[in-house]
Structure 1
Amino acid sequence: MGRRGARRTTRLVVARGPRRCGRTHDGGNRRAPPLEPADLPIPRTVERIGGLQAQYAPSACVGLWTPLKGFRRYLGGFGPSTTKEIAGWSGVPPTSLEGSLARMRLRRFRSEGGEVLHDLPRAPLPDGDTPAPIRFLPTWDATLLINERGTQILPEHHRPRVFNTKTPHSVPTFLVDGQVAGTWRFEAGRVRVEPFDRLPRTARVVLDDEAERLRAFHEDVG
């Protein structure tokens, strides 16, 4: 096998994933040839993901991998979501996703702005007046990133206190009524909270209870 054949096999492996030992991508039973060495960007970076897609996966293969588990996993954590939100997370252009999303078995809704929202068929959907519980979020939580701005979980006037030049990776935060209301840190065996504003007494009681559960978790894993 020449250099051209090795390149073709490399593209197929990246586009379709590895095969069992002894199987090739063209359906044969002979042992797969060694792959061509390639210079890859740093793992888990946009350049790595987008670069591989642009360099190896032909456009015809986009429809093969977009409906797979990754998109269902995303909807399991962040649904209902718009096509634009899914595209922003995956790095795939919205126009390349539309056909695949249309073929997937999903529930669909309309947002207040008229956008189509995709969700898993059996995903729970609480009533609109369901109270949001107080929760602690870790550093670099995906719900606070800029591509999730539409969720309004992080009020814009608080964003500089979470993401700034000193803490570009963000800081641990906690939610009250579904929005970031302060920061926290585990220090000297305690969970110390720093609210951005004065909290109602009832919210503070629940926050302290949740902090105690988080402290116990730290002790268990520590």
Structure 2
Amino acid sequence: MMANLFNSFDPSTYSTFSLNWTSSILMFSIPSLYWVIPSRWNVVWISLISAMHNEFKILIKSNSFKGSTLFFTSLFIFIMMNNLLGLFPYIFTSSSHMAFTLALSLPLWLSFMLLGWIKNSIHMFAHLVPQSAPSALLPFLVIIETTSNIIRPGTLAIRLTANMIAGHLLLTLMGNSGNSLSTSLLALLITAQILLLTLEFAVSIIQAYVFSILTTLYYSEVN
């Protein structure tokens, strides 16, 4: 049963050469604005982008990298749209795979490390040792800080993947048990699934926010 359950996350479940990964780039086909007066949806969208821009601008704390908030805002929108698309029936959830999340976190982490060690080598060395740390503990602190720095892309990827998989598995398990329930229990099950789907909607946005915020914090450390 577990093999069949996890087959819902298999990109090659429905065909030999799967096109499921194309769902990750569907948002790039959204047309531009054609109306002079923006609609309510455009106003909400612009407000969201502006709020994220202000949030990232506070975290970066550097005027020498103007425009860098646009990159992190785009990253947030990209992950959020992939998470939300996965909530619809028969749409592949690409953000529930390590191939997707690690492909986002690992290149970002590597580029930040290269930028930090090339531009601010002294700052990167000083970051390995906390302030006012005892001299006897310095070798152990350097090892701990180095290890925590190395596993950052893995923790970013696993956090997003695990949260996406957990909710989808709960929805699948609850849906598979509906055939053997009575009418009253089935109504209760549907209500629970609606509440869980609402929670998954919030989790999709929150996890995209957490991923982009942590990435921004890692970027701010190398400046």
TM beyond 0.5: no
Q: Which has the higher strand share?
A: 1
Which structure: greater helix fraction?
A: 2
Greater Rg by CA:
1
TM-score w.r.t. length of structure 2? 0.18
TM-score (norm 1): 0.18
